Structure 1
Amino acid sequence: MLRRLRQRLGPRLDRLAKTVGNPTTQVYPSEYVGTVGRPIAELEAALSKGGFAWDPVSAYHYTPAGSSADGSWVYRSGPFGDRQLHVVLFAPDADRTDVYAHDEFNWLRHPVEHAREEDIRREQGSAEARRWLDARGIEYERDSRARRRLKHAIERVRARVGDRVGERRESTE
């Protein structure tokens, strides 16, 4: 229930947050961990079992193609640990999950620094997330930046075509 509420209200809350500040909502290439050949629900179950917590207050993140995140998870040494590993999941299809990650200040302990996006460690976070996956035997592929750009371009084209088809259906109804 909380997830559905977050999905429904999240984009509105993010627009409101942008009027107050400028939260980063796009993932960066340096945050790319890899693509896991599992449905997102399976990966989320592994994250939960491995000590990660679902983060309902995270700003929605988007790929360069504009796809919105399907999951946001954090790992902390404790509730008020100094930093947190933030993992953002995208499900491009039913049996694959793209994983991005960064290391940042824990918003529970350092809300101002977190909101200002101080000292975000993108490469360190993605490397830490890879080590976490490796330690649990969760296999993943790492596409090159050029291949990811191509995939994002294809996603944009598919989205535009889908929007046009939807518009045509609405105009004929």
Structure 2
Amino acid sequence: MGSPQDLPNAIRRSVKPPLHRLFDWAFGGYAMTSNTEEEYVGTVHLTEDEFEAILAEAGFRRNVISSLKVRVDGNVSDGSWAFRESPLADWQLHVILHNVDDTVEVYAHWEYSWITHPIKHYRAVACAPEKGVRMTRRLLREYESERYPDGIPFEIESFYWRTPWYLTVVDELSEDLTKWMSGIKRRISALRS
């Protein structure tokens, strides 16, 4: 989050949590949601800035309106991008980025465009993670440039090797326990730094 183009995401990270609390209180709505395991595309071995430049070149646009995505371990999304065939297309491919060390974990889903179908989009009608993952992986494999003639370097890491996989299992049992455990993990990580 050090480059100037990260300003929109920095604003999202500060504005969305209070909006989420207001929406939740007022009408049970949301401004923050979770990424699910079925949305995991892969881990890209590039910096966030490098990968975002590739997304922009491939026709994606920064998606500042989307809800802020939070993984079960508390990692907050570092970028939200959408691809539409045209500005008024019915559907969009939504790609979400999470910085993890020197890599970017990519999540995706196929959904109604918030521009042309705001209510269906908000209610996640016909949202298809599998299709979004398939499309994004194909984009990564087929992307060609002088620097990446064989596609973008990424790997599909096992659920058990990504940190912290166990929180997803715990979250199925208790959301409060997950929050407590992820808080401990963050404190331990801070002590190590």
Settle same-fold status: TM greater than 0.5: yes
Aligned mates of 2:165, 2:52 — CA distance in 1: 23
Instruction: Pick the aligned partner of 1:151 from 164, 178, 186.
Output: 164
* Counterpart residue number, 2:28: 21
1:127 is matched with: 134
So what's the TM-score if we normalise by structure 1? 0.84
Which residue of the partner structure matches residue 68 of structure 2? 60
- Say which of 111, 115, 118 aligns to 1:108: 115
Match of 2:96 in 1: 88
Whether the 8 Å contact between 2:47 and 2:104 is mirrored in structure 1 is yes
Give yes or no for contact 1:61–1:69 (8 Å, CA) kept in 2: yes
Q: 1:146 & 1:3 partners in 2: Cα distance?
A: 29
Q: 1:76 aligns with which of 63, 84, 104?
A: 84
Bigger RCO (CA 8 Å, 6+ sep): 1
| Cα shift readout 1:65-96 (whole Å, capped 9, x = no counterpart) | 11110000000011110110000000012x20
Change (3 A) 1:5 1:161: same
Gaps of 5+ in 2: 1-6, 144-150, 168-180
The residue number in structure 2 matching 1:161 is 188
CA contact (8 A) 1:14 1:60 kept: no
**Partner residue of 2:44 out of 36, 55, 61:** 36
Q: Which residue identity is paired with 1:158?
A: K
Which segments of structure 1 move beyond 4 Å, counting only runs of 4 or more? 152-155
Contact 2:64 2:80 in 1 (8 A): yes
Residue 116 (structure 1) shift: 1.0
Task: Return the alpha-carbon distance in structure 1 between the equivalents of residues 23 and 85 of structure 2.
Answer: 27
Q: Is 2:70–2:76's contact at 8 Å kept on the other side of the alignment?
A: yes
- Contact kept, 8 Å, 2:42 with 2:107, in 1: the verdict is yes
CA gap 1:2/1:64 in 2 versus in 1, 3 angstroms? closer
- Contact kept? 2:109, 2:127, Cα under 8 Å: yes
Compared with structure 1, are the counterparts of its residues 3 and 32 closer, same or farther at alpha carbon in structure 2 (3 Å cutoff)?
A: closer
Report sequence identity in percent. 35
Residues 112, 121 of structure 2: 8 Å contact kept: yes
TM value normalised by structure 2:
0.76
1:169 aligned residue: none
Structure 1 residues not aligned, in runs of 5+: 166-173
